[in-house]
Homo-oligomer: A and B are copies of this chain.
Amino acid sequence: MIEFPQLSLHVPEPAVRPGGQPDFSNVNIAKAGSVPRPEVDAASEDIRDLAYSIIRVLNRDGEAVGPWAGLLSDEELLTGLRHMMKLRAFDARMLMAQRQGKTSFYMQHLGEEAVSCAFRKALRKGDMNFPTYRQAGLLIADDYPMVEMMNQIFSNEKDPLRGRQLPIMYSSKEHGFFTISGNLATQYVQAVGWAMASAIKNDTKIAAAWIGDGSTAESDFHSALVFASTYKAPVILNIVNNQWAISTFQGIARGGSGTFAARGLGFGIPALRVDGNDYLAVYAVSLWATERARRNLGPTLIEYVTYRVGGHSSSDDPSAYRPKTESEAWPLGDPVLRLKKHLIVRGVWSEERHVQAEAEILDEVIQAQKEAETHGTLHAGGKPSVRDIFEGVYAEMPPHIRRQRQKAGY
């Protein structure tokens, strides 16, 4: 009988830790324009390669190239840039507000703005997102009022969620934005159910599920893929791979699979990887996937390759687990700067107009904040009522909760 050597446990580790030189040389990046664009009714087994490549439109010179280019007008792109700038400005102000104690908690999108902003453009009124906490671009790009977002963040007297939810856990049915859960991944399979319902009712609306790279390890990710695959649900299964899950690098969740997109292949679900910092590429891929869904061809999985430049949340300091300069070394650049450059190359934008737009947007955000603050912030001014604790647990308040409300003096 053959003698085998001792086993040992393999524990994946990031290439570099604090103190080391950032190194992304292992990230395999396809040239912009090089990945083909299949028909939307392509069979999943014929496009497996797309799960291992990266679809990109904007090249280093800021030009839009290849088969995925050419879908957006100047106007649309200018609006897209404005959305991303607005989200970034909003984030900066709210993070500051958190530092000032106006709210308890904040989560920003720095570096990932293109993903949710460009995706939103591919949706129609009535479609439904099941987002995580890092897709506020879906609201911004749908012109959901910033003041409402801030009211929620400040848990003030105008908070649409009446102080019940953690800051940034927005909800807006009207804007196709399902109530955010603090529990990871749960919403992924719910999106599939929503899409199944639309199909059951012979409706034309589609759903979009959202998840982070780290959270794909959760069980609900599997349930979602199983149900989406079996019932060919009209849903887009989005994975935002921003390289990190709090302190844990993506290798822990990804294991030996090469890419997160590859997860779809085991289910016969077409899976695409896209440069998540390329507004044009994100839009193009999103449109492809939504068209598939709308034509009843079933689900599509999209992995957005991006980078979380900021901390995980306002409670996190990434310098404890990754080099401080890692984000600068990130090879896919900054989504705002890249689109800005493209628009300049296109001849419809300039450094000056950009600076001016920045100022305008900042002003808009500040105005919104001023208004929101007149309704209170977490520890000052108008607040939701103690009554609000007891309401809405059920459609109708049952006797035991009424007794408790009375005991609380309300």
Q: Scan residues 1-24 of chain A and give those whose CB is less than 8 A from a CB of chain B.
A: 1, 4-12
Chain B neighbourhood of A374, CB < 8 A = none
Contact partner of A253 (CB less than 8 A), chosen from B219, B226, B295, is B226
Indicate if the CB atoms of B4 and A294 lie closer than 8 Å. yes
Cβ of A221 within 8 Å of any chain B Cβ, yes or no, is yes
Contact partner of A217 (CB less than 8 A), chosen from B124, B226, B256, B266, is B226
CA distance A44 to B268 in the complex (A): 18
Knowing A217-B226, A219-B219 touch, does A7 contact B202 (C-beta < 8 A)?
Answer: yes
Interface size on A, residues (CB 8 A): 55
Indicate if the CB atoms of B262 and A264 lie closer than 8 Å. no
Q: Which residue of B lies closest to A264 (CB)?
A: B266
Indicate if the CB atoms of A266 and B257 lie closer than 8 Å. yes
CA distance A202 to B10 in the complex (A): 11
Which of A193-201, A324-332, A346-354, A399-407 forms part of the interface with chain B? A193-201
Indicate if the CB atoms of A6 and B204 lie closer than 8 Å. yes
Cβ of A36 within 8 Å of any chain B Cβ, yes or no, is no
Which of A136-144, A227-235, A315-323 forms part of the interface with chain B? A227-235
Indicate if the CB atoms of A258 and B220 lie closer than 8 Å. no
Cβ of A104 within 8 Å of any chain B Cβ, yes or no, is no
Chain B neighbourhood of A9, CB < 8 A = 196, 199-200, 231-233
**A111 nearest CB across to chain B (Å):** 25
Indicate if the CB atoms of A7 and B268 lie closer than 8 Å. no
Q: Which residue of B lies closest to A269 (CB)?
A: B256
Cβ of A298 within 8 Å of any chain B Cβ, yes or no, is yes
Indicate if the CB atoms of B234 and A255 lie closer than 8 Å. no
Indicate if the CB atoms of A262 and B256 lie closer than 8 Å. no
**A7 nearest CB across to chain B (Å):** 4
Knowing A222-B222, A256-B267 touch, does A231 contact B11 (C-beta < 8 A)?
Answer: yes
Contact partner of A266 (CB less than 8 A), chosen from B199, B204, B266, is B266
Indicate if the CB atoms of A7 and B203 lie closer than 8 Å. yes
Cβ of A45 within 8 Å of any chain B Cβ, yes or no, is yes
**A321 nearest CB across to chain B (Å):** 18
Q: Scan residues 228-281 of chain A and give those whose CB is less than 8 A from a CB of chain B.
A: 228-234, 251-258, 262-269
Cβ of A34 within 8 Å of any chain B Cβ, yes or no, is no
Contact partner of A204 (CB less than 8 A), chosen from B4, B234, B264, is B4
CA distance A251 to B230 in the complex (A): 8
CA distance A203 to B5 in the complex (A): 9
CA distance A198 to B296 in the complex (A): 47
Chain B neighbourhood of A179, CB < 8 A = none
CA distance A233 to B256 in the complex (A): 11
Cβ of A190 within 8 Å of any chain B Cβ, yes or no, is no
Indicate if the CB atoms of B262 and A7 lie closer than 8 Å. no
User: Knowing that A229-B257, A257-B268, A266-B267 are A-B contacts, what are 16 other residue pairs whose CB atoms are under 8 Å apart, sorted by A's residue number?
Assistant: A1-B124, A5-B204, A7-B198, A7-B204, A9-B196, A9-B200, A10-B298, A44-B256, A217-B223, A219-B219, A219-B223, A229-B256, A230-B251, A232-B256, A257-B267, A262-B265
